[in-house]
Amino acid sequence: MVDGAKKFYPKQCVPRDAKLYETIGGRITQTVADFIFTKLPPLPPNSTINDNACGQGFITSSAVKACPAESLSTLHIEVTDIEPGMIFMASHDIKENNWPATATIMDSTKLDFLDGKFTHSIMSFGLPIMPDPAVAAAEMYRTLKPGGIAVTAFWTQIPSGETIMNANQILRPLSRPLAMVPKPGFKDPDNLRRQLASGGFDIDKIVLEEFRSSMVVEDVRYFVEALWGTIGEPMGGWNSGDEEEWDRCIEVAERVLREHPGCEELGDGTVKIHLIAAVAIGVK
């Protein structure tokens, strides 16, 4: 691609908007965010939270819902993500809901905050896909106050994401690995503890929690297209061949999804997807 040229996307890619992210599991991700706050002490007055690698801002939504009334007026949330599209969506929700938050484009491995700024640093689903998880964890540690709480989560069973990884191994065995994949060992819940500990947290004091959920997918073809267009991009970017091969790729990915042990055929063409998330909680 010529420097400055517009990035190529296959014409079949589902637009990256709120509807797309809801389709591929936004509601389930929100329930994980809600679960996190059931495992934390009530937010005290003057809580400051970094919704780190925020995605659609589910942590912010859950924090506001969970915050005791006496603490809400002094709550402030810094919402950060390296992806401009995510910050755009989060900013919209902040304004729409009048949340006590500010959204900023920011790299989790280079947070532009002073040491000891936050009472909570919560990175929902980001750490295992960071280029350098240890650096990101160290930034969480650096920006927390002493006694501050760090939380990170990741799927240890995610049939949708695993489907795209497995389909890519069939379709592009070695020549074009996916641009974004979790680090090896992501299925091991203890991996999250080790990643937090690599940033400075005491591994013996990091608590692990498990969250199980499921989602029913009625339009499986559309679901797989949404997934492939979102996380099926190969390293180096899409090209015209991906557009030409789109239908074959979707057919392979749909078959792989339906055969995944975490998927349950419901008999009418729909599938029920069973997900498991690990949540790691550490204290500075």
Q: Would you give per-residue pLDDT tens digits along the chain (284 residues)?
A: 334 457 899 999 988 877 877 777 768 889 999 999 999 999 999 999 999 999 889 999 999 999 999 999 999 999 999 999 889 989 999 999 999 999 999 999 999 999 999 999 999 888 988 889 999 999 999 999 999 999 999 999 999 999 999 999 999 877 789 988 888 888 899 999 999 999 999 999 999 999 999 999 999 999 999 999 998 999 999 999 999 999 999 999 999 999 999 999 998 889 999 999 999 999 99
pLDDT at 4: 44
Query: What are the residues whose beta carbons fall under 8 Å from the beta carbon of 241, sequence distance 6 or more?
Result: none
Closest CA to 17 of 236, 226, 178: 226
- Contact at 8 Å (CB) between 33 and 57? no
Q: What value, to the nearest 5°, has the Cα angle with vertex 139 and ends 81 and 277? A: 65
Its CATH class, for the domain covering 18-158+180-216+267-283, is alpha beta
Residue extents of the structural domains in the chain: 18-158+180-216+267-283
Q: Shortest CA distance to 49 belongs to which of 26, 80, 28, 73? A: 80
> What is the amino acid identity at position 276?
I
Tell if the pTM clears 0.95, that is, is over it: no
Q: Residue 204: count other Cβ atoms within 10 Å of its Cβ.
A: 7
What number of CA atoms fall less than 13 Å from residue 231's CA on the CB side? 20
CA distances from 235 to 168, 174, 177 (A): 12, 11, 6
pLDDT given for residue 237 in this prediction: 92
Q: What is the rounded end-to-end Cα distance, in angstroms, of the chain?
A: 44
Residues near 26 by Cβ (< 8 Å), separated by ≥ 6? 18, 56, 58
Q: Which two tokens stand for residue 53?
A: 């690698």
How far is Cα 160 from Cα 183, in angstroms, rounded to an integer? Answer: 17
- CA 107-280-157 angle, to 5 degrees, is 90
